[in-house]
Amino acid sequence: MTINKTIKKTIIRQNEHSIARDDISKNALKVLYRLKDAGYQAYLVGGGVRDLLLGKKPKDFDVATDAHPDEIKALFRNCRLIGRRFRLAHILFGRDVIEVATFRGPHEGGTSPHAGKNEEGRIIRDNVYGSLEEDAIRRDFTVNALYYNIRDDSIVDFTGGMQDLHNKVLRMIGDVSTRYREDPVRMLRAVRFAAKLDFTIEPEAHQLIFELKELLDGIPVARLFDETVKLFQGGYGLNCFRLLRRYQLFELLFPLTEALIKETGEQNSATLKLVEQALINTDERIAQGKSVNPAFFMAVLLWYPMQDYKNRFIERGQHEVEALISASREVITRQQAHTSIPKRFSMMMRDIWHMQSQLQHPTKKRALRTLTNKRFRAGYDFLLLRESVGEHELKAICDWWTDIQTRSPEEQEQMCSELGGPKRRRGADKSRRRKKRKAVKLTVEPVSSQPGNTQA
Ligand code: ATP
Ligand code: MG
């Protein structure tokens, strides 16, 4: 790999940096000690070192070593080898996973069957091992390539990461264009780290995002879904969202949502309000150590696009419930061409959407069932969110649901018995609708011919 600076190894001694062993998780230390005691090199690297130096709590701890995957496996009973593109070892401590990667070397110029790029320069195989120094220059940003050495508690810096950390700059290691082409997801990572750390993206890396962003189209949708979750559910979702939009990356990930924001203009966009408020709530929940579910936020992102399709289906003669089902399927299918949505999440999104009308119009018969539905909490939170960003006509019904949750079972039954029954559609009305539906059915575009219609 070409690197635009001469590599200079700098060692920052224990008393010259702020990381203490106590800051590192017990499990990460166990892994580091065991590797070291077996005679291997062992370093903490990546976000763990970066975040500790910034006084933040790391999300996870990654370890780099000269031990090969099989050698790592031989050392740890609780080890799983994973990955094809990158072969990695996961050391499992219950739910805590320490990722251990063998130092990687350069993949260019060689004929090794273990490494390779496609015609666009994207890395498709990456299993050539190398030295510590080679491993450093393969990483994405200088601040992510700082190595904490368990042998003497020093930090090794080959790329000027300490200086960039001090200046709050995100700088790509090596030639920016080559590195974005090798892995276009680095553009999303740049935005995520800039948003999370409040760093500026160095000018060339900043500018090239606008020029190369379409390369993200070539990335598998499952990987884009994973990145999306990291962007929006990493505790800095609102910053990430705003920055993604500034870089015109959001429209590549969620074109239906962005199109609606553009249509009404930011000032009047109900979509924008809903999404931003959901992100404010998500960031707050994460700060309080509460759980968040990707399905809820995906349901938020696609709520208005779904409404839009629902209205179109109604115009084409479908009745309310049928249109809701068709629109949910349509929007989820279209989104899956851009980011996958695992089935368990798409099912929950539909449940949240479909529950909205039951929550808005509770009936004597159904209200108690709605209350005990396993998705009630998500559906109710969604209703409150909608009310809070402008659907103020939902206030009374939100209060009713808030109230009923605090009541005894007898009181709950009493409250439900005071509700009305479902509105009955008259026979004549029904047959008129049926006729209309029949007439327009022929004009509805066949959904199955749309791109990305794989599963819903
Ligand atoms: P966080 O865990 O807080 O999201 P991180 O920097 O630890 O941030 P990870 O995805 O855990 O990010 O990756 C660990 C390290 O692996 C990174 O710091 C970086 O050095 C390297 N890395 C990860 N993804 C890439 C990539 N796409 N290209 C180059 N290096 C990468
Ligand atoms: Mg990490």
The total of other beta-carbon atoms located within 10 Å of residue 52's CB is 21
Ligand 1: atom nearest CA of 185 is 27
Residue 290 Cα to ligand 1 middle (Å):
24
Q: Are 270 and 257 in contact (CB under 8 A)?
A: no
Name the closest-CA residue to atom 28, ligand 1.
140
Task: Give the number of the ligand closest to the Cα of residue 43.
Answer: 1
User: Which one of 60, 153, 226, 381 is the catalytic residue?
Assistant: 60
Mutation to probe ligand 1, out of 103, 144, 196, 215 (largest number of atoms < 8 A from CB)? 144
Residue 139 Cα to ligand 1 middle (Å):
7
Ligand 1: atom nearest CA of 192 is 4
Known catalytic membership, residue 140:
yes
pLDDT greater than 50 at residue 169: yes
Residue 7 DSSP SS3: coil
For Cα atoms 272, 311, 232, give the angle at the middle one, nearest 5 degrees: 30
Which residues, other chains included, contact 430 with Cβ-Cβ below 8 Å and sequence gap of 6+? none
For 300-317, write each residue's pLDDT tens digit: 999 999 999 999 999 999
Orientation of helix 294-301 relative to helix 303-315, angle to 10°: 50
Amino acid in the structure at residue 308: D
Amino acid in the structure at residue 429: D
Ligand 1: atom nearest CA of 139 is 30
* pLDDT (mean) for 383-392: 95
Among 49, 76, 228, 71, which Cα is nearest to 146's?
49
What is the share, in percent, of the chain residues with pLDDT greater than 90?
81
Q: Per mean pLDDT, which range of 225-229, 299-303, 444-448 is the poorest?
A: 444-448
Ligand 1: atom nearest CA of 234 is 4
Measure CA of the first residue to CA of the last residue in the chain; give whole Å: 42
H helices of 40-94, in order, are: 47-53, 69-75
Q: Are 51 and 88 in contact (CB under 8 A)?
A: no
Q: What per-residue confidence (pLDDT) applies to 108?
A: 58
Among 179, 143, 131, 171, which Cα is nearest to 54's?
143
In whole angstroms, give the CA distance from residue 132 to residue 65.
8
Amino acid in the structure at residue 101: A
Residue 342 Cα to ligand 1 middle (Å):
23
Residue 61 Cα to ligand 2 middle (Å):
6
Q: Are 31 and 92 in contact (CB under 8 A)?
A: no
User: Which one of 66, 140, 283, 308 is the catalytic residue?
Assistant: 140
The CATH number of the domain covering residues in 285-417: 1.10.3090.10
pLDDT greater than 90 at residue 440: no
Mean residue pLDDT of the chain comes to 90
Ligand 1: atom nearest CA of 230 is 4
Residue 398 DSSP SS3: helix
Query: Who lines ligand 1 at CB under 6 A?
Result: 46-47, 59-60, 62, 139-140, 144-145, 183, 185-186
The predicted model scores a pTM of 0.88
Residue 312 Cα to ligand 2 middle (Å):
44
For 228-276, write each residue's pLDDT tens digit: 999 999 999 999 999 999 999 999 999 999 999 999 999 889 999 999 9
Specify which residues 65 forms β-bridges with.
Answer: 42, 102
Which residues, other chains included, contact 122 with Cβ-Cβ below 8 Å and sequence gap of 6+? 181, 182, 183, 184, 215, 218
Name the closest-CA residue to atom 1, ligand 1.
47
Q: What per-residue confidence (pLDDT) applies to 123?
A: 65
User: Which long-range CB contacts under 8 A does 322-325 form with residues at least 24 apart?
Assistant: 324/353, 324/354, 324/357, 325/354
Tokens of 104: 């990687």
pLDDT band at 24 (very low <50, low <70, confident <90, very high): very high
* pLDDT (mean) for 5-17: 88
pLDDT band at 426 (very low <50, low <70, confident <90, very high): very low
Known catalytic membership, residue 23:
no
Name the closest-CA residue to atom 14, ligand 1.
46
The domain locations on the chain are: 10-166, 285-417
Residue 144 Cα to ligand 1 middle (Å):
7
What distances in angstroms separate CA 364 from CA 284, 307, 373, 411, 417, one per listed residue?
36, 27, 16, 13, 5
Name the closest-CA residue to atom 13, ligand 1.
46
Known catalytic membership, residue 153:
no
CATH class for the region spanning 10-166: alpha beta
Q: What per-residue confidence (pLDDT) applies to 453?
A: 34
* pLDDT (mean) for 269-291: 97
Q: Of 407 and 448, which is predicted with more confidence?
A: 407
In whole angstroms, give the CA distance from residue 364 to residue 138.
63
Q: Of 119 and 405, which is predicted with more confidence?
A: 405
Task: Give the number of the ligand closest to the Cα of residue 47.
Answer: 1
Q: Per mean pLDDT, which range of 142-156, 354-368, 382-396, 428-442 is the poorest?
A: 428-442
pLDDT greater than 50 at residue 172: yes
For 32-69, write each residue's pLDDT tens digit: 999 999 999 999 999 999 999 999 999 999 999 999 99
* pLDDT (mean) for 207-236: 97
Specify which residues 97 forms β-bridges with.
Answer: 92
Name the closest-CA residue to atom 2, ligand 1.
47
Supply the DSSP string of 151-209, one letter for each residue.
Answer: TTS-EEESSSHHHHHHHTEE-BSS-HHHHHHH-THHHHHHHHHHHHHTPEEPHHHHHHH
SS3 of the chain: helix, strand, coil, percent, to 5: 55, 10, 35
Q: Of 53 and 454, which is predicted with more confidence?
A: 53
Name the closest-CA residue to atom 26, ligand 1.
140
* pLDDT (mean) for 132-148: 97
Q: How far is CA 376 from the centre of its chain?
A: 24
Q: Are 148 and 45 in contact (CB under 8 A)?
A: yes
Amino acid in the structure at residue 450: Q
Residue 320 is classified by DSSP as H
